């Protein structure tokens, strides 16, 4: 008698019946046929056996402690590899736990597929009360780019193919695939099953911009006196690294990278305007948006951030989605296509006689940049006791400089904001953070994905509040012996640790945590390295040892609890304070 993992393959010598396959094997064969060799998830009914079989057949299965973290890992894997990361969950509650990651992946344009087992349609549709009964497809559909359900084994190949193509074609995003439990046990002749599988060809075809659109953009750029190139994470995802660098250097136009575009060109590049962000956004007259959207992170292209008093801006926007154009302000020269094709089309029209921006534009940028970097250097050189964000991040800055291949994950309020402006990146797709939604809790999932799919060291810079969302995954990091160094900036609370209970009651303020919590002991509990540090020298030593050893490490960094501002740099989004009674 065969086990569920070892499907019977013999042909009955008397009946001569064909060899059969089942939904389990068809599903795994369809994934492997399309180059998907890693699954992130959390086992349980009805996918436990499927994950066991995947591992038995040579796939890597990374099992988490919470589905949201597994989903975040799949999303990050999609961004880092360019092929959809796959997260598998159980039905109903497990599916719902993964849904936040799916929606976040869609918002961030990360290719990801959430695959959940589900109850049987006959019972769900009549609401008869099945185990974890839920109409998951209906719930998922508005949260993602596409959603499919597979009911027959012979359609598994088509379902996987459609999910892959939907996830990576055009603007990438999240896809949901619903697999009812009894699908896996369905059988069919192996030969027919193999024929039903589909290898996706050219899943994300190039989209070249129209010639007249390129001419319009070139004409506008030629007339610019103060041009600016703004790089978004879509530019990083595009893998058009050389073309983007050539565009910047050939035109001589200053560029401003959004957080996850840092490293497309080294942050130390002479044309980087990151240290003068406010100035260039206000003063630029023509802005080239490369894989960036004018959402809240860029003040929607409006208001004081963009210096409206200086007159209206002209925008050239490169985006693969036509519907994104004019979403907040008028786009004067839309370039619809993939980033690589659009940038190459611009380069083809930029000759060696291209007039680079004048000193009247680049000179003031260079002066302000030098001044601001000097001020920052002075702050980073300070050594207060206890440490503040600047002094602690000065150590991280030097560690990343000496280890440019390391993946840097960052989340928190102040921790995220300061790290974004202090820690330089040198290579593309090495920085992962909270992205478009600003979602906290991505830290450990992103860190696991970075280590698993790249094989590189990972440095996760975590605020103590943000770390709490996914901190239990340090067990996952230890279980798989991943080279992850988690650095928790511990200032005893959300934003800071000094708030008081306004009523005078015994409960702590909502933003305050246990004082001097020993987060490093969590890593020690699972066999990793845990270190508490109180000085920059101790932090430097601990991080250097962690990266040299590759061992799972958590460094608990004592930060002055009085430093930090509410909501970091988005305090303006807080509602007005309530009127006292």
Q: pLDDT tens digits, residue range 204-222?
A: 999 999 999 999 999 999 9
On the 0-12 / 13-18 / 19+ scale of CB atoms within 10 A, 555 is buried
Q: How many CB atoms lie within 10 A of CB 402?
A: 11
Cβ contact 39:86 at 8 Å: yes
Is the model's pLDDT at 1 over the cut of 50? no
What is the pairing mode between strands 20-22 and 187-189?
A: antiparallel
Neighbour-count burial for 193-214, b at 16+ CB within 10 Å, e otherwise: beebbbebeebbeeebbeeebb
With bands split at pLDDT 50, 70 and 90, how would you rate the model's confidence at 2? very low
What is the rounded average pLDDT of the residues 349-370?
95
Task: State how far the Cα of 31 lies from the Cα of 29, in Å rounded to an integer.
Answer: 5
CA 138, 140, 145, 147 dihedral sign is: negative
Is the model's pLDDT at 564 over the cut of 70? yes
Fold identical between 211-365 and 382-569? yes
- Please tell me the predicted confidence (pLDDT) of residue 577: 56
Q: Which two tokens stand for residue 58?
A: 């040579």
Is the model's pLDDT at 563 over the cut of 60? yes
Virtual torsion, Cα 189, 194, 196, 200, nearest 10 deg: 170
Q: What is the tens place of the pLDDT at every residue in 166-176?
A: 999 999 999 99
Task: State how far the Cα of 565 lies from the Cα of 576, in Å rounded to an integer.
Answer: 16
Which three-class secondary structure state does DSSP give residue 553?
strand
Q: What is the tens place of the pLDDT at every residue in 29-71?
A: 999 999 999 999 999 988 999 999 999 999 999 999 999 999 9
With bands split at pLDDT 50, 70 and 90, how would you rate the model's confidence at 10? very low
Segments in 180-319 forming alpha helices (H): 190-196, 211-222, 233-238, 241-251, 277-283
Q: What is the tens place of the pLDDT at every residue in 250-288?
A: 999 999 999 999 999 999 999 999 999 999 999 999 999
Task: State how far the Cα of 314 lies from the Cα of 224, in Å rounded to an integer.
Answer: 9
Cα–chain center distance at 13:
54
Is the model's pLDDT at 3 over the cut of 50? no
Cβ contact 132:119 at 8 Å: yes
Residue (of 174, 124, 125, 183) closest to 149 by Cα position:
183
What CATH code is assigned to 20-196?
3.40.50.970
What is the rounded average pLDDT of the residues 457-461?
98
- Please tell me the predicted confidence (pLDDT) of residue 578: 52
- Please tell me the predicted confidence (pLDDT) of residue 58: 96
- Please tell me the predicted confidence (pLDDT) of residue 343: 98
Q: How many helices (H) and strands (E) does the chain have?
A: 21, 19
Domain range annotation of the chain: 20-196, 211-365, 382-569
Which three-class secondary structure state does DSSP give residue 114?
strand
Q: Assign domain 382-569 to a CATH class.
A: alpha beta
Residue linked to tokens 């879509």: 234
Q: Assign domain 211-365 to a CATH class.
A: alpha beta
Q: What is the tens place of the pLDDT at every residue in 419-452?
A: 999 999 999 999 999 999 999 999 999 999 999 9
Residue (of 568, 577, 439, 431) closest to 496 by Cα position:
568
Residues in the chain: 581
- Please tell me the predicted confidence (pLDDT) of residue 216: 98
Cβ contact 386:560 at 8 Å: yes
Provide the mean pLDDT of the chain. Answer: 94
Q: What is the tens place of the pLDDT at every residue in 71-93?
A: 999 999 999 999 999 999 999 99
With bands split at pLDDT 50, 70 and 90, how would you rate the model's confidence at 14? low
């Amino acid at each position: 008698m065969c086990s569920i993992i070892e499907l019977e393959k013999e042909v009955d010598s008397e009946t001569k019946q064909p060899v059969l396959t089942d939904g389990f094997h068809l599903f795994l064969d369809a994934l492997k046929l399309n180059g998907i060799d890693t699954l992130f998830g959390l086992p349980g009914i009805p996918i436990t056996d499927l994950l066991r079989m995947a591992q038995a057949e040579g796939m890597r299965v990374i099992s988490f402690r919470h589905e949201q973290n597994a989903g975040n890992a799949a999303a990050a894997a999609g961004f880092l590899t360019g092929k959809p990361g796959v997260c598998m969950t159980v039905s109903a509650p497990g599916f719902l736990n993964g849904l936040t990651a799916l929606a976040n992946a869609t918002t961030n344009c990360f290719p990801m597929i959430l695959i959940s087992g589900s109850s049987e349609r006959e019972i769900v549709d009549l609401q008869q009360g099945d185990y974890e009964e839920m109409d998951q497809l209906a719930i998922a559909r508005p949260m993602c780019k596409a959603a499919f359900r597979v009911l027959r084994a012979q359609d598994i190949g088509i379902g996987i193919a459609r999910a892959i193509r939907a996830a990576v074609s055009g603007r990438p995003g999240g896809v949901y695939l619903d697999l009812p439990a009894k699908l896996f046990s369905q059988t069919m002749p192996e030969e027919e099953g193999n024929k039903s599988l589909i290898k996706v060809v050219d899943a994300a075809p190039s989209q070249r911009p129209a010639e007249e659109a390129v001419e319009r953009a070139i004409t506008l750029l030629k007339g610019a006196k103060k041009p600016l190139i703004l790089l978004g994470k879509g530019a990083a995802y595009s893998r058009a690294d050389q073309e983007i660098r050539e565009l910047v250097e050939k035109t001589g136009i200053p560029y401003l990278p959004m957080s996850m575009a840092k490293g497309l060109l080294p942050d130390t590049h002479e044309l980087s305007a990151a240290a003068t962000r406010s100035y260039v956004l206000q003063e630029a007259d023509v802005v080239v948006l490369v894989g960036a959207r004018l959402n809240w992170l860029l003040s929607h292209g409006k208001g004081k951030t963009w210096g409206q008093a200086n007159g209206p801006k002209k925008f050239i926007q490169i985006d693969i989605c036509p519907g994104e154009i004019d979403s907040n302000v008028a786009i004067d020269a839309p370039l619809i296509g993939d980033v690589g094709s659009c940038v190459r089309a611009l380069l083809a029209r930029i000759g060696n006689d291209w007039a680079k921006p004048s000193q009247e534009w680049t000179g003031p940028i260079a002066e302000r940049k030098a001044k601001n970097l000097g001020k920052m250097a002075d702050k980073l050189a300070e050594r207060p006791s206890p440490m503040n964000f600047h002094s602690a991040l000065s150590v991280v800055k030097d560690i990343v400089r000496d280890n440019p291949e390391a993946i840097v994950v960052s989340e928190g309020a102040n921790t995220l904001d300061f790290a974004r402006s202090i820690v330089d990146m040198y290579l593309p797709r090495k920085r992962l953070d909270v992205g478009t939604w600003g979602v906290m809790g991505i830290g450990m999932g992103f860190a696991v994905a970075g280590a698993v799919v790249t094989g590189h060291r990972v440095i996760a810079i975590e605020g103590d509040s943000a770390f709490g969302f996914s901190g239990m995954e340090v067990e996952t990091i230890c279980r798989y012996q991943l080279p992850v160094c988690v650095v928790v900036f511990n200032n005893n609370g959300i934003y800071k640790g000094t708030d008081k209970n306004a009523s005078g009651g015994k409960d702590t303020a909502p933003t305050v945590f246990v004082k001097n919590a020993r987060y490093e002991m969590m890593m020690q509990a699972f066999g990793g390295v845990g270190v508490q540090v109180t000085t920059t020298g101790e932090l430097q030593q601990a991080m250097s040892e962690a990266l040299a050893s590759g061992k799972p490490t958590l460094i608990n960094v004592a930060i002055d609890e009085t430093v930090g501002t509410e909501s970091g740099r988005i305090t303006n989004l807080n509602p007005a304070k309530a009127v006292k009674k």
